[in-house]
Amino acid sequence: MPGPLRKHRANVRIVLADKDSYMRQGLRNALAAEGYRDIRTIRRVSLLRGILAASQPDLLILDTDGDAIELVTAIRNNILGKNPFLPIILVISGSEAATVNYAANSGADLILMKPFSPAQLFRRIERLVAARMPFIVTPHYTGPDRRGLDRSGNVRRYDVPNTLKDKLEGQTVDPAALTDQIEKSVRQINSGRLEQMAITLAQHVEEACVASETNEEHDSVEEALSLVIRISERIRSSATDEITGLCASLTKVAETILADVNATNMKKELKLLRQLAQSAVLVANPDLDASAAIDDITRAIERYAPKRPDLAAPQQGAASNAVRARTMPERSLA
């Protein structure tokens, strides 16, 4: 690593978790020889929960022992620890594609395969300082864009806090300022995830509608509607009241169709399903112009509701109020 960074390495807080005592001690000695001083080593990955709850390390080097990969995913989803953007190097045994993909999908920044040399570890640390990848968010993944998932231009990239880089470059990390930066990034990523889920929801709604309208196998309709309900419920568990009201109505309409999937005339139900999905996309994507769609959405709901009294209460006014509100969620990343 370049000379100007070396004098600041003593300020970096590292947590190293590996069940192999020789590997653990060897890496600790190598890091210490490079000027790192604040190194905490642990044998069991399970001990990370307490450590991350009580402190904020700048780098986590983690062997894939036990539930390590699940813990990385929990960190990225802001379920574990205080910083979901903590730089993470994941150490894996074996080079099988399934193992590598499983590790990559956890949200770790970089992967090291055993056996490796200290020099390889130091090069990974350099990359986290000089060229850490921005974060991306999809309905099923939050973490660095390690595999170029944004190349289509459809996935937003987020620059997130990186205290490892800050400290090695000699910057002072103010705890209050860091908390503010983390909260701001969490809000941005929550909004991005909601947008992605709403778009995916609308895609599955369209699949269900087209399958029903073209008299495809009922299995196709049922599969698409099951995905619609699953994503709708996931949105309801983490979003704001405005869009959760829409998703509650959407779920009920989808369940109504599923209950009578053999029916030959479901035009009104399918139309309403499309309108609700469109409304959810508009609420979740604040950059879209929703004004032209609000009246059509509301009229569709009001025409359908009198025939289905059980649906009337949650639906009437939900679309127009939700789209006008434009309130993005500010809860955790999960």
Residue 150 has pLDDT above 80, yes or no: no
Checking if the pLDDT of 164 tops 90, the result is: yes
HEC sequence for the chain: CCHHHHCCHHHCEEEEECCCHHHHHHHHHHHHHCCCCEEEEECCHHHHHHHHHHCCCCEEEEECCCCHHHHHHHHHCCCCCCCCCCCEEEEEECCCHHHHHHHHCCCCCEEEEECCCHHHHHHHHHHHHHCCCCEEEECCEEEECCCCCCCCCCCCCECCCCHHHHHHCCCCCCHHHHHHHHHHHHHHHHHHHHHHHHHHHHHHHHHHHHHHHCCCCHHHHHHHHHHHHHHHHHHHHHCCHHHHHHHHHHHHHHHHHHHCCCCCCCHHHHHHHHHHHHHHHHHHCCCCCCHHHHHHHHHHHHHHHHHCHHHHHHHCCHHHHHHHHCCCCCCCCC
Higher pLDDT, 107 or 325: 107
pLDDT at res. 307: 47
pTM of the predicted structure, to 2 decimals: 0.77
pLDDT by residue (tens digit) across 294-307? 554 455 445 544 44
Per residue in 12-52, pLDDT (tens digit) is 999 999 988 999 999 999 999 999 999 999 988 888 899 99
* Position 224 pLDDT exceeds 80: yes
